[in-house]
Copies of this chain bind each other. A is one copy, B any other.
Amino acid sequence: MHTFDQAIRLQALGEHRFAGATSAAYANMVGPFGGITSAALLNATLQHPERQGDPIALTVNFAGPVADGDYEIEARPLRTNRSTQHWLLQMLQQGSVVASATVVLALRRETWSLHEAEAPRDMPPAGNLARATNHRLPEWTRRYDMRFVDGAPPESFDGQLQPHSASRLWVRDEPPRALDFAALASLCDSFFPRIFVRRRRFAPIGTVSLSTFFHADEALLREQGERHLAGCARALNFRNGYFDQSAEVWSDSGQLLASTHQMVYFRE
């Protein structure tokens, strides 16, 4: 079993309740990497016997620190329509809510379709770029193969303010794993905090709210398989303790698979 699947594995405890545990393989500086928490929450919906359809939108709110160890997820279908299904989730540890989430699933049909945004251009092939070092970075970064075109996280916090916080990179699970919705949800949080890229200065940070929109259906994810995905990320604004971060994830054939937005707390 792939490390990722071990990390998001859930055991059904009865109606709407699942048991899981954090994984040392996805440890962040404190507690687990937010992406893996997000994927575990989505997974509760995907494994639920009442599931209807595939993910369209996922919002995860990080309510408090997730401790290393066991957790419980409550996943309730709020409403099932003909083509959409709305879910409400909570992750609990020792009776405290550590995260909440909402999920919208849908049965898609073929319609008129059109890409408005363009995939990042002129990226050298992943094979021509070196894998980013994980030296002194948290454990979860070793679970991704990242190859930066620009906007790599700084090698040292030298305090040199950069002209922007934009990054472009190739990224995939390490070891390689066929892409699915849970892996894509986790990967959407794998972009380093924009404040580190822009400011090159350390600050305690923590995502408070993370929303991901899924543009891909299962067939598109299957086509992508295990190959590197193109990602780009940027911030709009850093202000009085919070900054935003937006990113897109593209297939290597130029299809938009997900767009994702988060608000992140920082302490100066």
Contacts and interface: CB of A to CB of B under 8 A. Distances in A.
B111 A241 contact: yes
A213 interface: yes
Contacts of A209: 56-57, 59, 102, 104, 211, 213
A59 B111 CA distance: 27
A96 to B, nearest CB: 7
- Looking at A104, A213, A236, the one whose CB has the most chain B CB atoms below 10 A away is A213
Given A61-B102, A88-B100, A102-B61, A241 B109 contact: yes
A267 B194 CA distance: 37
A59 B56 CA distance: 14
Interface residues of A, number: 61
A265 interface: yes
Contacts of A83: 241, 265
B244 A213 contact: yes
Q: Is the interface of A mostly helix, strand, loop or mixed?
A: strand
Interface in A65-106: 78-79, 81, 83-84, 86, 88, 90, 96-97, 100, 102, 104, 106
Contact of A211 (B238, B242, B261): B261
9 contacts: A63-B78, A64-B81, A83-B241, A86-B97, A102-B102, A106-B265, A215-B236, A237-B259, A246-B246
Interface of A: 56-57, 59, 61, 63-64, 78-79, 81, 83-84, 86, 88, 90, 96-97, 100, 102, 104, 106, 108-117, 164-165, 194, 198-199, 208-209, 211, 213, 215, 217, 234-242, 244, 246, 248, 256, 259, 261, 263, 265-268
